[in-house]
Chain A
Amino acid sequence: MNDATIITDRMRAHPTDSHTLARYEQTGGYVQARRATGMSRDDLVELVKASGLLGRGGAAFSTGMKWSFLAPPRPAYLVVNGDESEPGTFKDRQLMERDPHQMVEGSIITAIANDVHHAFIYIRGEYAKPARRVQQAVEDAYGAGYLGKGIFGSDYDLELTVHLGAGAYICGEETALINSLEGQRGEPRLKPPYFPAAKGLYMKPTIVNNIETMSNVPHILGMGVDDYRALGHDDDTGTFLFSISGHVRKPGNYELPHGLTWRDLIFDVAGGIPDDKELKTWIPGGASAPWFVPQEHLDLPVTKADTGKAGSMLGSGAVIVMDETTCVVRAAERVVRFFAHESCGQCTPCREGTTWLEMILRRIESGQGRMIDLDVMLDVSDNISVGLGWPPKQTTICPLGPSAVSPVMSIAKYFRDEILDHTENGGCPKLRGPVAVSIG
């Protein structure tokens, strides 16, 4: 294992102008996209497949495989997913704000590899500054002849459109994103038949890739497959951006190889807990992931396989750390509230279930809980995610509903006494005021 980084190098070396075209080109930018215009599609797809690059949006599916599934009818589209909204994640914001050209170059290479002549970057509406940066980067790339008709002097045409979302987490789900891009409500489509690779944007074959994934692509060409694979280990090649937040001394984005332990990540990389408080629990991979606790998981390696075996996931790499002062009922309520607010409302188990879970958690927190509430929550959860196993057996079109079940399952498993204490003794012992807000 080594500590080399790739996708955050430029922004750390040149903090004042890493986002400009001049700096990007001065540091080797657009060399690989230019090269790709002279390469065959099959070679590019095979290269990325061989690199072992897994999608960085949360599902960790092989990017090369995804590309090879693209159905033959043309036109085909590429959609770059910059709708990052999961609580705990802020890595794509950094990549868009600080190194937008890197992601644009990755998108150009991806488009060439998939015979795509019109690509879209979908950015969440709340990301005003990152979207401005990306828009500027795209305009500069057009100006330099790297986008538009005959890119890099070749006979390949590529249009790249920046599209702004308007505040809906669910649009990060690829089929919902496609609906949103078409100007519809951002509701996920049923798979089958709407696999994006076959029936995606405007019912045409479509590739949907994450910003961080795109940022990796130029480096795979630049470094070659062997060097890229050597950065990571085994099945988790390359580096991974962890967003660490919550009760740690040094929150932030860290580009790391897989294979550290959680103890390394929380106490070494992120500097440990402020005021030397005790670690109570943490969310290992974004708000959707079941929680980990120090007595069981602290020395587990941070890899997709080990995290999966332990009943959770690395997902989008967002680590949210909670110290001993945290009320887990309130924390769970906050995570569930998010999913209740963001539920698109198509599927009954999710639309109704998330709202009920939120209301029950809030009444436990405020001292109105009943002894039966824990069982009611688990029953509601079971209707969304049958058997409460991991990975979830969902009763819904997309994984949003089961995501809301994760915190409930976690606190029921590890903090049962704390929930019962809330119920028996009139609410949260740490309650500093009324539970702030109702759902929107």
Chain B
Amino acid sequence: MPLLYLAMREDGWLTEDGMREVAEWTGITPAQVQAVASFYTMYKRERTGEYLISVCTSISCMLMGGDDVLHAVEDESGIPHGETDEDGLLSVEHVECIGACGGAPAVQVNYELIEGVTPDKARAMVQWLKTAKPGVANTDEMQGLFGGRTSFDWAIAETDGAVGPYPAFGPTGTVEEST
């Protein structure tokens, strides 16, 4: 699975070539790689934009207006959920619970969380991504700009963040197996 993240990082999304390469590295068939990749939501096997906007519409976010936030993002960006714009800049998706129910409704940009989002702030966020094109989607910065109530008090800001449609630290914890 870390190799699939690596392949995504190389190409921006999980291409057939990427999956084939992973198959070669691991000595299994491309079909087996695809079987694994297709099981998981976060392996994007279609072209995905620089900024992946994920709007939570699960129960707690729905109760607090998550559907309205999704509609605002779709309307402002002109991208229906599940799609990417022509420039490859933005992708929009609706997601199931992202564990921010206390700060619902919640949105993620490249899996960096923003809580307490309103439809108006979601529109402003879309415009910001389009114009400012931040090199780093920083969760604390975005929370300050477009967020509201959070699930719990926010700790100090980090300087790091994600770039591209995957978590910044990519494949992690790959300690050599001794056995």
Q: Which residues of A contact B (CB under 8 A)?
A: 11, 15-19, 75, 84-90, 92-94, 97-98, 118, 120-121, 124-129, 131-132, 135, 138, 159, 161-169, 180, 183-187, 243-247, 251-253, 283, 287, 318, 320, 322, 326, 330-331, 334-335, 337-338, 341-342, 344, 433, 436-437, 440
Contacts and interface: CB of A to CB of B under 8 A. Distances in A.
Contacts of A162: 172-173
Chain B facing A: main interface SS: loop
B60 interface: yes
Interface in B31-72: 35-36, 39-43, 54, 57-60, 62-64, 67, 70-71
B111 A126 contact: yes
A271 B122 CA distance: 27
Contacts of A335: 59
A331 B62 contact: yes
Contacts, number: 205
B77 to A, nearest CB: 16
A120 B113 CA distance: 25
B101 A128 contact: no
B160 interface: yes
B104 A245 contact: yes
Given A88-B59, A246-B59, 17 more contacts: A17-B155, A87-B58, A125-B167, A132-B169, A161-B174, A161-B175, A164-B172, A183-B36, A186-B39, A252-B102, A320-B63, A331-B59, A436-B57, A437-B70, A437-B94, A440-B41, A440-B93
A129 B113 contact: yes
A280 to B, nearest CB: 11
Contacts of B175: 159, 161
Interface of B: 1-2, 4-5, 26, 35-36, 39-43, 54, 57-60, 62-64, 67, 70-71, 81-82, 93-104, 108, 110-113, 139, 149, 151-153, 155-156, 158, 160, 162, 167-169, 171-175, 178-179
Contacts of B94: 436-437, 440
A87 B60 contact: yes
A393 B63 CA distance: 30
28 contacts: A15-B155, A16-B156, A75-B179, A87-B101, A88-B60, A89-B101, A92-B99, A93-B99, A93-B151, A94-B151, A97-B155, A129-B158, A132-B168, A164-B172, A166-B4, A166-B41, A166-B43, A186-B40, A246-B101, A247-B63, A252-B151, A287-B59, A320-B63, A335-B59, A436-B67, A437-B70, A437-B81, A440-B93
Contacts of A318: 101
A98 B112 contact: no
Contacts of B179: 75
Nearest to B81: A437
A138 to B, nearest CB: 7
A131 B36 contact: no
A90 B100 contact: yes
Contact of B173 (A17, A98, A127, A135): A135
Contacts of B81: 437
Given A85-B99, A90-B151, A185-B35, A167 B169 contact: no
